[in-house]
Amino acid sequence: MRIERAVILAAGEGQRLRPFTVLKPKVMIPIANKPILQYVVEALAANGVRHIAMVVGYKKEQVQDYFGSGEKHGVEIDYIVQKQQLGTAHALLQARDMVGDRFLVLPGDNIIEANTIAPLVEAKPSIILVKKQANISKYGVVTVRRRMIEDIMEKPHETASRLVNTGIYALNRDVFEFMDGETELPTVLRNMIGRGSKIAAQETEDTWLDAVYPWDILRLNDVALSSISSGIAGTVEKGVTIKGAVCIGRGTVIRAGCYLVGPLIIGENSEIGPYTCLFPATSIGDYVTISPFSNIRNSAIGNGVRIGPGSTLEDSIVDRGSVIGGHFSAYSGKAVIEVEGEYHTVDTGVVVGEYCAIGNNVIARSGVILGNLAKIDTLNVLSGKIPDQSLVM
């Protein structure tokens, strides 16, 4: 008997992804022009799991406004509010009255595909979906013997296994009997194992991607774009060169002399060029204006962004509503970035939050993280972290 119901845990914030999660929840961060959460909903719909209980909390209105009843995505969504984000078990407990005897549980902040969860839909619970990862430091690690879970260890210091807990489960109602005030679901499942319950491991090699830090968004963007198909619904003027898979939305105009190389997606009602070059692994949102002679490579540009003429962005992210003046430069390079006391060496350009205003002839050094609603005057050189609502003269 197939599983027909699912619980999506979509209440969290995602603090390590700031500035992107200051004004929106992590599940609503766009990847290839779709919120992360939409990939989860579409994967469920493709597997015939159409009854979804969605646990929301942080900035819940944005999730509810976007997905509504779920009808436009081919599902039925009931919303449950987790007023305090106390943990995954606490979140699941809020949906107790919304599930049947057997159900799936999924995080709303991971990119997955239909194939990723297909084995769980037909299987008999209880099951944890696991995946081999090179870097296990941010995940729960599972040890498996004869396809059965032996233990779940959260963020272990030693490498006992390369298999991590994806946070995707096929469960039955028995799980609620073991909660005993626990707030995290892996702890509940570990307690179940300790008290004699059998929990199977289902390993996947299909897509399961998590964004932990701001620069991870580009990695997810790259993977999501690799599966797009070419399609031109807008207007392409004469003299435009298009290579590879390029998707252009309705109402968008590509001006003469542009050079577009896929995989590349451009949303609706945007204007590109003339003589702008857009290179692979780039996503451009809706209502975006990119002025002439600009170059953008491996970057994610949000809805409503305006970029002035002669600008260059590499390995960069610009969130919705930001306005960038002419001759802006953000070249990729190696940078050391601090996030919550951790230091990471990454190759990156610039991260720009929502509704920033950047003047002409500004240079952003590699690794700049510019907070939301910041204002940068003309002829500045930016470096490091610049907080929300900053004014740089």
138 pLDDT above the threshold of 80? no
**pLDDT computed for residue 155 by the predictor:** 67
Q: Does the pLDDT value for residue 364 go beyond 90?
A: yes
pLDDT at 180: 83
Q: Is the confidence at residue 317, as pLDDT, over 70?
A: yes
Span 140-144, average pLDDT = 83
Q: What whole-number percentage of the chain has pLDDT above 70?
A: 98
- Spatial contact of 172 and 162, defined as CB atoms under 8 Å apart: no
Instruction: Give tens-digit pLDDT for 269-294.
Output: 999 999 999 999 999 999 999 999 99
| pLDDT reading at 211 higher than 90 | no
| Of 204, 71, 74, nearest in space to 130 by CA | 204
Over 70: is that where the pLDDT of 159 sits?
no
**Mean pLDDT calculated for residue range 140-148:** 84
- Provide the pLDDT confidence category of residue 124 given band limits of 50, 70 and 90: confident
So what's the pLDDT on residue 385? 94
What's residue 85's pLDDT? 82
pLDDT, tens only, 22-74: 999 999 999 999 999 999 999 999 999 999 999 999 999 999 999 999 999 99
pLDDT digits (tens, 9 = 90+) for 321-353: 999 999 999 999 999 998 888 889 999 999 999
What was the pLDDT predicted at 318?
Answer: 98
So what's the pLDDT on residue 372?
A: 97
Phi, psi for 218 (deg, rounded to 5): -70, -35
Predicted TM-score (pTM) of this structure: 0.92
Summarize pLDDT for 95-114 with one digit per residue, the tens.
988 888 899 999 999 999 99
Report all structural domains of the chain as residue ranges with CATH numbers, in order of start.
5-212 (3.90.550.10), 224-392 (2.160.10.10)
Give pLDDT, residue 182.
83
- Report whether pLDDT(208) > 90: yes
What's the chain's average pLDDT? 93
pLDDT for residue 156: 63
